[in-house]
A = this chain, B = another copy of it.
């Protein structure tokens, strides 16, 4: 089946035509994410779909959003999209405009779905992963996102919030997380958390290459890698604590769910690569039954897991409805 997969991010929107049987994607249309509110975001999505599929080949559309998405097709809010602060029934709205089924999901969850399918049966860069029917995907970027596949399907949870491994507490009473709670994984392993900590250490007189290079801007993954390669002590400490926090949370979640396959993706992980994965594996903090009980691997797709996963989700939805 051919579907269109759309990945709506905080900075860009990417659209691909997906063959749901092979997981292969072709074509590509993209644009910057409008900063003028959700109506303009939806309009941009429609334009990209028309540009990508002028012949109207696709049978359905799947869209991943960086926020809280309900099973009924309503996108409740997206903190990273300017102005998206009230629920919008995206599924109904775009379905009426496009004249086909539109399925929505959380971006990280659909990314996990793509990693699961690609690892399981399709063309994949990391062919060693046999994910069984379960997979935990952890995406380390500005924040830390997570997606859970249980029994071959996305686990959404009662409120659509499942998979939020970034908000597992790793240090009770520890560093402030972006969500307002203390000691969450994201406060240690997300780029925003590392940036806050590096700036606060600089404020206490502990200078670092990180603060020198990012200056007033936000921390980039490539700056993190450069400072790490230059043996910057603050960066080494922050990344070591990030690896510990990830090891604790991943081991614990894997143990409680009996999900032994974990895929690591996101900007920070893809930039730091296998060395970072190995650092997580060798952490003394590894939770649950330890690193031997978990298979950790790098995500096979960095840039298009979201769009491919959204396309796969739409295909699954249509197939289930027809059965």
Query: Which A residues contact B (CB, under 8 angstroms)?
Result: 132-134, 146, 148, 150, 155-165, 167-169, 172-173, 179, 181, 244, 248-249, 251-253, 255-260, 284-290
Q: Which of A162, A169, A285 has the most CB of B within 10 A?
A: A169
Residue of B nearest to A183 (CB): B287
Please give the count of copies of this chain that the complex contains. Answer: 2
- Chain B residues in 8 Å Cβ range of A164: 255-256, 258
> Once the chains bind, are A168 and B133 in contact (CB under 8 Å)?
no
Residue of B nearest to A247 (CB): B172
- 9 pairs from A and B in contact (CB 8 Å cutoff): A133-B158, A134-B158, A150-B155, A157-B258, A158-B260, A161-B258, A162-B257, A164-B256, A172-B248
State the CA gap A290–B179 with chains docked (Å). 12
> Once the chains bind, are A163 and B285 in contact (CB under 8 Å)?
no
Given contacts A168-B252, A172-B287, 10 further A-B contacts (CB under 8 A): A132-B158, A134-B157, A157-B258, A158-B258, A158-B259, A159-B258, A164-B258, A167-B256, A172-B244, A249-B252
8 Å CB contact of A258 from B162, B258, B290: B162
State the CA gap A162–B258 with chains docked (Å). 5
8 Å CB contact of A288 from B167, B288, B289: B167
- Chain B residues in 8 Å Cβ range of A161: 255, 258
> Once the chains bind, are A256 and B289 in contact (CB under 8 Å)?
no
3 nearest CB pairs, A to B: A157-B258, A169-B287, A162-B258
Given A155-B150, A158-B132: A253 and B256 interface contact (C-beta under 8 Å): yes
State the CA gap A10–B73 with chains docked (Å). 49
8 Å CB contact of A248 from B158, B169, B256: B169
State the CA gap A255–B163 with chains docked (Å). 8
- Chain B residues in 8 Å Cβ range of A146: 256
Residue of B nearest to A172 (CB): B285
- Chain B residues in 8 Å Cβ range of A258: 155-164
State the CA gap A150–B257 with chains docked (Å). 11
8 Å CB contact of A256 from B132, B134, B165, B288: B165
